[in-house]
C-alpha cells in the first residue's frame, strides 16, 4: 500500500516588519508614483521614488506583451485536494491497463492521502504492479507540481512541503526582463561599478509596496507574485521581490554566481562579488557571497542586512538555493 501526503507551503515575511524596529522614517522607502499604460502590443511602466539619500529617482521601461508569456503572471494556488484528484485520475488510468484477471486494484482517497491496494494470486506479481503504480503516483504528482510552477521543499525544521518554483521563474523570465535591467543600467554612470547598479535597483524595488503574508507552512502559496505579475500589480512580498530582483541581476550579470537565502520567515539574496570590509557576507561552497535584501520598506543598501537577519545567519537558520 502506498500513500501520498500533500502539504501546502506559503512564504511569509512577518520578519520584514521586525526589520523596521528602530529604523528612522528617513530610512524607509517611499514610492512617489507608479503608472502602467498599455500601448498596442506592449505596456509602459513608470516609477518615481525616494532613494536612501532622500533624492527623487525615476525609471521608465517598456515590456512587449510576449514577455507576459514567458511564465505565469499569477501563481496558481496550491490545493492538496486538486493535486490529489490529479494523481488519482492518473492512477485510475494506469490501473485500467492491467488485466483484472491478473490483479484486483483498489485506489482510495482518505484525508489527503492516496491508498493503493493490489491483490493477485501471485504475490510477486502483486508486488510488481504495486511498484509500478507507486512510480506512476510519483510521476503524476511531479507533473502536477511542474504544471503549476511548484517544487518540493523541506524547511529547516524538517517539514516536507511544496513552494513556488523560484529558480524556474528566474530562469524563464530573465530574458523577458532584459529591457527592465537595461533601463537601470542606462541610468548609472559609465565609470560606475556593479554596486551602483545594485543600489539603484534596490531602492526601486524596496519602494514597491509590500504585500504581507501570514504563515509560511500553513498556506497555499497564493501570495507569491511572479516577476511580471509583481510589476503589473505593483505589490509583492519578500520572495516575490527576491525572484524579480534575481531575474534582473541575472540579466545584468549573466555569468556571476548568485543564490537565494531563505530564513524561516524571510528571503534575501547573495551574489559572488568581491566584498568590502563592512559588507555582510555568507559562505557558499567555500566562497564569500555579498548579501542584499530587496524586500523593503527599509532602505538597506547593497551589502547590508538587518540585525534580525544576521542573527538567523549566525545561528545557521537558513537555506540556500543556488541560481543557475
Q: Give the DSSP letter string of 207-259.
A: HSPBPP---SSSS-STT---HHHHHHHT-B-HHHHHHHHHHHHHHHSTTS-EE
Summarised one tens digit per residue, pLDDT across range 114-124 is 999 999 988 89
Q: Classify strands 56-64 and 42-50 as parallel, antiparallel or unpaired.
A: antiparallel
Establish how many alpha carbons lie within 13 A of residue 272's alpha carbon, considering only the half-sphere containing its beta carbon.
16
* pTM score, whole prediction: 0.88
Summarised one tens digit per residue, pLDDT across range 299-311 is 999 999 999 999 9
User: Alpha carbon of 297 to those of 250, 304, 307: distances in Å?
Assistant: 23, 14, 15
Degrees, nearest 5: CA angle 287-290-296: 150
Asked whether the predicted pLDDT for residue 130 surpasses 90, the reply is yes
Q: Which three cell numbers stand for residue 81?
A: 485536494
Q: Are 116 and 133 in contact (CB under 8 A)?
A: yes
Q: Which three cell numbers stand for residue 241?
A: 521581490
Of 231, 210, 229, nearest in space to 15 by CA: 210
77, with CB counted inside 10 A (0-12, 13-18, 19+), is middle
- Name the band, by pLDDT with cuts 50, 70 and 90, for residue 222: low
Of 278, 308, 5, nearest in space to 152 by CA: 5
Summarised one tens digit per residue, pLDDT across range 1-36 is 344 434 443 333 434 443 444 444 447 889 999 999
- Name residue, grid cell 517611499: 30
What is the pLDDT averaged over residues 144-172?
92
Degrees, nearest 5: CA angle 247-251-257: 80
> What does the pLDDT read at residue 111?
76
DSSP code at position 105: E
Q: How far apart are CA 161 and CA 152, in angstroms?
A: 6
What is the pLDDT averaged over residues 277-294?
96
Collapse the DSSP code of 259 into the 3-class scheme (helix H, G, I; strand E, B; otherwise coil) and give the result: strand
Q: Are 115 and 3 in contact (CB under 8 A)?
A: yes
What is the pLDDT averaged over residues 182-201?
90
What is the pLDDT averaged over residues 127-154?
94
Amino acid at each position: 500500500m502506498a500513500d501520498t501526503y500533500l502539504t501546502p507551503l506559503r512564504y511569509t515575511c512577518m520578519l520584514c516588519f521586525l526589520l523596521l524596529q528602530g529604523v528612522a522614517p528617513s530610512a524607509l522607502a517611499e514610492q512617489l508614483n507608479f503608472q502602467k499604460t498599455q500601448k498596442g502590443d506592449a505596456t509602459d511602466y513608470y516609477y518615481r521614488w525616494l532613494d536612501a539619500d532622500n533624492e527623487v529617482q525615476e525609471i521608465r521601461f517598456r515590456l512587449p506583451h510576449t514577455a507576459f508569456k514567458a511564465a505565469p503572471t499569477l501563481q496558481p494556488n496550491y490545493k492538496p485536494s486538486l493535486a490529489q484528484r490529479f494523481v488519482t485520475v492518473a492512477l485510475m488510468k494506469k490501473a485500467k491497463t492491467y488485466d483484472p484477471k491478473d490483479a484486483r486494484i483498489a485506489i482510495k482517497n482518505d484525508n489527503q492521502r492516496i491508498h493503493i491496494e493490489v491483490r493477485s494470486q501471485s504475490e510477486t506479481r502483486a508486488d510488481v504492479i504495486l511498484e509500478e503504480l507507486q512510480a506512476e503516483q510519483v510521476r503524476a504528482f511531479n507533473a502536477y507540481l511542474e504544471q503549476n510552477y511548484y517544487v518540493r521543499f523541506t524547511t529547516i525544521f524538517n517539514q516536507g512541503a511544496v513552494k513556488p518554483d523560484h529558480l524556474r521563474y528566474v530562469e524563464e523570465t530573465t530574458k523577458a526582463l532584459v529591457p527592465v535591467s537595461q533601463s537601470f543600467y542606462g541610468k548609472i554612470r559609465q565609470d560606475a561599478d556593479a554596486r551602483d547598479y545594485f543600489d539603484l535597483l534596490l531602492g526601486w524595488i524596496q519602494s514597491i509596496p509590500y504585500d504581507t503574508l501570514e504563515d509560511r507552512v500553513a498556506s497555499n502559496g497564493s501570495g507569491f507574485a511572479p516577476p511580471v505579475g509583481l510589476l503589473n500589480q505593483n505589490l509583492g512580498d519578500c520572495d516575490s521581490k527576491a525572484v524579480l530582483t534575481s531575474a534582473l541581476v541575472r540579466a545584468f550579470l549573466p555569468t556571476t554566481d548568485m543564490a537565494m537565502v531563505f530564513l524561516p520567515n524571510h528571503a534575501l539574496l547573495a551574489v559572488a562579488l568581491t566584498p568590502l570590509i563592512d559588507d555582510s557576507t555568507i559562505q557558499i561552497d567555500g566562497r564569500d557571497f555579498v548579501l542584499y535584501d530587496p524586500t523593503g520598506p527599509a532602505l538597506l543598501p547593497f551589502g547590508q542586512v538587518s540585525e534580525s537577519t544576521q542573527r538567523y545567519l549566525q545561528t545557521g537558520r537558513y537555506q540556500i538555493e543556488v541560481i543557475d
